[in-house]
Structure formats: structure tokens, C-alpha cells
Structure 1
Amino acid sequence: MQLPIQSLSTIYAEPWEAGAEPRDLAEVARAADRLGFCYIASCDHVAIPRRLAAAMGTTWYDPVATLAYLAAVTERVRLLSHVAVVGLRHPLATAKQYATLDHLSGGRLVLGVGAGHVAEEFAALGVDFAARGPVLDEAIDALKAALGPDEFPEFDGERFAFSGLGQRPRPVQTPRPPVWVGGSSPAAVRRAAVRGDGWLPQGDPRDQLPRQIARLHDLRERAGVTARVEIGAITEALYVGEPGWDVGRRTLSGKPDRLAESLREYAAMGVHQIQVRFRSRTRAELIEQMEAFASDVAPHLDG
């Protein structure tokens, strides 16, 4: 699940999140850890321009700092950057941050990466927004080298190059932490197919996912990539049970067996993991929803 509180976009944030505190974030993470959720995820934006502030908000926690904070209060749940705009930073700097996070968390990092979409952010950091796609392609390749087992990684690309420079601590995971590529554009699907260990679509409607997944597998096969790719999906907003308040017409709600039946459709499409979001009015209600999902819905999703 994507964590609440750490990003306050009007697209998905609940009103109560604006007044929440770090301890609320920690309690949600502890609940995810206790209840067996696969991962908790944090977004990435450096700065939001005024033209987008009304819709996106300006509250976007740094993903490395956030996930490191939550690594210290959890034990099992994986830590996903969804998604890190890695083209904004040199791959060695990114590798240093995320290798340290993997080391400190005992090997729980999943590095989700994406191209980014805020032009002003790139301009402020001196990065060419128009070239963000090719930059991300090369950054992924450089990160794979920098996060591998070699203390002195080497990479020689058009934009980034390094050799003879040691970095420790090394990641716990071998041969390196997984890299999942976010995005649903044709370029993002191609990138996930050719370079990713996983794909994180950005809210594709159900009826479009099968076509996207088929294209990803076709591109991967053409590129000669034989390793398994982890395919994800972001579900509709969920509410387990019959809500006594307006949860919106696009929210999937009702009895657990009904929710499970609906969510199993994702597996039939070839999806391996689903990212869920629960409608809630308070932190307590969110955790109650997580508990209800873990006990009454999740057990019916496998097999």
C-alpha cells in the first residue's frame, strides 16, 4: 500500500491526513508490518510549482528519509519508493542513499523509479526535462551497476560514468535490490519490459491492463530478457464492509467475499501484486480497514 500522510495530493489524500503527525505515519507502517502487507510505499517530489500546488499540494516527504524512519519501527514489510525520480540526481548519489537504506533495513528495499512530470522541478535542479526519458534509461543501467555486489562499481554511459570509486555499505540483497519501473506511457512500458525487474502501472483502468501486460511481455521477449518480471496494479479505492458515509462512486466496497472476487480478476490478467488504498476518516479507521482486509479479504486472493 501507498502510505498516507507522506504526500497530500488532492487526487487521493483523505482530509484527516493534513493534520497527521509522524507518529500517525509510524502507526500505519507498524500495522502494515504486523498484518503481513508486502510493502509500504513513499512518493518523490523535490518541489511543487505554484501552478500545480492547488492540486498536488506541497507536502511530499523525502522517500529515503521517510522509509529509513519507518524501517526502524518495522521488521518485515518491504520499503518501496513509488516512484523515485532518479533522473534528478546522479546515480552514485542515489545508489549511496538506497544502498544505505537496504543495509539499515536488513534487505527490504524495492527501488521504484519513474521519469517524473514536473518541468519546473527539473529546471530548478539543472536537469533537461525534455531528455528525461533517455536520462532515466541510462540512470537505471547505472543504478543496477552501482547497487550490485562490487564495492568499486563501474559504468560508462553517455551521461554518467564512474570507476575506481568505492561505496559502502553495500546492499544486503544480492545480486542487488529489485528495480521496478513506474508509468503507463508506451515509453514507460518499454522501459519496464527491457530494464525493469517489475512494472508499476499508474492507475490503468482494468480494461486496459491486459493489453498493456501483453505488450510488456512481447517487448521483453523481443529484447531477450528471460527473468521473471513482477507486474503490479493499483486497485480502485477500497472499503471493507458497508460504509455509513459517502466513500465515492469509484470506491469498491461491500462484503469481504465480494471484494475478494473482484480483486482476483487482477490475478487472472497476469498481475502479481496489487497496491491497495482504503477510504478512511481517521487514522484509527484506516488501520481498522487494513485489519479487515488482512483478515477477511487477503486470504482469499491467492490460488
Structure 2
Amino acid sequence: MVRILPEGRLVYGMQLPVQALSAVFAEGWETEAGPVELLAVARAADRLGFFYVACCDHVAIPARLADAMSTTWYDPVATLSYVAAATTRVRLLSHVAVAGLRHPLAFAKQYATLDHLSGGRLILGVGAGHVQEEFDALGVDFGRRGPVLDETIDALKVALGPQEFPEHDGRHFSFRGLGQRPRPVQVPRPPIWVGGSSPAAIRRSALRGDGWLPQGDPRGQLPYRIAELVRLRRGEPLDIGAITEPVYIGEPSWRVGRRALSGKGEAIAESLREYARIGVGQIQVRFRSRGVTELLDQMEAFAADVAPHLN
């Protein structure tokens, strides 16, 4: 098992803007933004002590889902490599890569290279996926995506490990005698965090993952999920995350949504500390904003007025 979260401390990260324009979480201004704004946010996260920045993953979006999901989903390896070259400390999270769409050796080659180029900053987040047409187009059995992901994680643990010639012999994949370099910088390998909140995803996280990435569970449901993780994990520690409610530091002059946490930094920190009390080690913060300047201001305010009170 590979753990990277500091013991007894709550750390914070964020999903990068611009790279995914789902109506569920993207702000309106992001549709007109691009690499300049994305990189400005990544550099700010690096400077302000964010633990990670994250990028989503979809290969193609069917027309029936395009209005809700949009068709803008940057490739995570390309995007995080671009960000890696302009940052020095912040970790790089795929949240989440649909690992079952690729052969583990091809997948490992991409992410091992990213870890190598970034100096060992990769966090590999993986998930089962949910868009059937995406699987169909790539010739992958959608109905078997769960078992395939289970084996893919097992294969990735070997393929991203220290051995130049990894070996795996499973039902879906088999390889030996094939060398891959560069190897990841992180030893014994980069951490693998498993995304999803279904019973199958919880079980997969507990039995195969180094960490858990819930998919927007309401705060009140997390204790039950975490209790199940702990039960299945049988005492072995796990890096546990959560996605917070939308956050706006200060008194907003516009409607930020009824679920948003807003107000003074200390009050927001007091609310966020509840995540640590229920067993969460890292929170992914979603800031409300009307433009990249306001987003950068919110990040600055969080680092100055909220983060010092989280622990």
C-alpha cells in the first residue's frame, strides 16, 4: 500500500477549471477560457500550497449527453504534463481516469512518463466509467467494466512498480518479458486512488486502492461510506478524500447557491474541519467564481484565511 497524505492533517486540492465543462460543476466563464487561464490557476495552486490539481477523463461524449456534459474534456495525461512543466510542488491527480478503456501497459506507459517528467508528483485516480457509447466505440465491454477495472488496478500496481520488466497473468490481460522505461520516480510506485461511491466502488477502493475518491457524496452520507471502507479494509489505513460544498470566501454580492459555504475564513474552516473529524484526509475544494481573476482571488483568500485554521 502507498500512502501520501500527512498523518493527522487535512490537506486541500482542487479540480482545474476549463479542462472539463460539465454543467454539473463548470462556471459559465470557463467556456470562453483556455490554456492561459488553466495554467494561471495551476501556477497559483502550486504557489499557494494546494496539495494537488486534478483533471477529468472522457474520450468522447455521445450526442444524447452533450448538453449536460458538454464535449470539452481535456486529455488528462496531456493536460497534467502541460501543468507539470509550469509547476514544481503541486501533485497531479487524474480524477478520474477511466482505466478500463486502455490496456494496462499502454496506460502505465503514459502515467509512468508523467510521473517521471514531473519529478514524482502523480496521483493516479481511476474509475469504472459510466458512458456506454464511449466503451462501445473503443471495443470495450461496458457490462464487464467492473471486473476489468479490478484486474487493471492489479496490473497497474505491477506495471508502475520498480521492475523494468513487469509481469502479470490474469483473465483479461497478460504480459511478461516486455520492458518499459522511464520508470516512475515514486517508489515503490505512484499511489492509486479509486473513484466512485457505489457499493462496488467502495469495495474496490477498500480492497485494491491506496485511497478513495468519492464522487460528490453529500457530507451527511460520508460517515456511512467511510465506516464501510474501514470495515472492508480491516484496519489497514487508507487515504480518504471528499469533495466539499461550493465555497466562496467573504460575503458574496451575487447568488452563489444555497449549498455554498460563504463568509469569513475562520467560519468556513470550522465547517470544513468536520471532514477531518469523520475520517477524511484530503478535501477537494470547489470555488464559486465569475471569472479567472475572481477564482484566483478566492484561492488566495482560501490559502490566507481558511487553510491556517484547518488543522
TM bin, normalised by shorter chain, reads over 0.9
Aligned to 2:33: 20
Aligned to 2:57: 44
Deviation (angstroms), 1:206:
1.1
Aligned to 1:287: 296
Unaligned stretches of 5+ residues in structure 1: none
Q: Are residue 73 (structure 1) and residue 86 (structure 2) matched?
A: yes
User: Which 10-residue stretch deviates more, 242-251 or 150-159?
Assistant: 242-251
CA distance in 2, matches of 1:218, 1:12: 32
Task: Give the counterpart letter for 1:245 in structure 2.
Answer: W
Task: Give the counterpart letter for 1:296 in structure 2.
Answer: D
Q: Deviations over 1:76-109 (max 9, x none)?
A: 0000000000000000000000000000000000
CA distance in 2, matches of 1:145, 1:119: 28
CA distance in 2, matches of 1:273, 1:95: 25
- Aligned residue for 1:236, secondary structure, equals strand
The match for 1:171 among 180, 184, 191 is: 184
More strand by share: 2
Give the TM-score normalised by structure 2.
0.95
The match for 2:275 among 266, 271, 279 is: 266
RMSD between aligned alpha carbons? 0.6
The match for 1:155 among 168, 186, 197 is: 168
Task: Give the counterpart letter for 1:42 in structure 2.
Answer: C
CA distance in 2, matches of 1:151, 1:71: 24
Q: Are residue 275 (structure 1) and residue 288 (structure 2) matched?
A: no
Alignment of 1:96-175 (within 5 A): 96-175=109-188
Which fold has the larger relative contact order, with Cα–Cα distance below 8 Å and residues 6 or more apart in sequence?
2
Q: Are residue 238 (structure 1) and residue 247 (structure 2) matched?
A: yes
Aligned to 1:35: 48
Deviation >3 Å, runs of 4+: none
Deviation (angstroms), 1:25:
0.5
Task: Give the counterpart letter for 2:246 in structure 1.
Answer: A
CA distance in 2, matches of 1:94, 1:131: 18
Unaligned stretches of 5+ residues in structure 2: 1-13
Deviation (angstroms), 1:257:
1.1
Deviation (angstroms), 1:117:
0.1
Q: Are residue 254 (structure 1) and residue 267 (structure 2) matched?
A: no
Deviation (angstroms), 1:21:
1.7
- Aligned residue for 2:242, secondary structure, equals strand
The alignment covers a number of residue pairs equal to 298
Q: Are residue 2 (structure 1) and residue 18 (structure 2) matched?
A: no
Task: Give the counterpart letter for 2:180 in structure 1.
Answer: Q
Aligned to 2:193: 180
- Aligned residue for 1:238, secondary structure, equals strand
Task: Give the counterpart letter for 2:82 in structure 1.
Answer: Y
Deviation (angstroms), 1:210:
0.5
Deviation (angstroms), 1:183:
0.3
Q: Deviations over 1:178-202 (max 9, x none)?
A: 0000000000000000000000001
Deviation (angstroms), 1:120:
0.1
Q: Are residue 297 (structure 1) and residue 306 (structure 2) matched?
A: yes
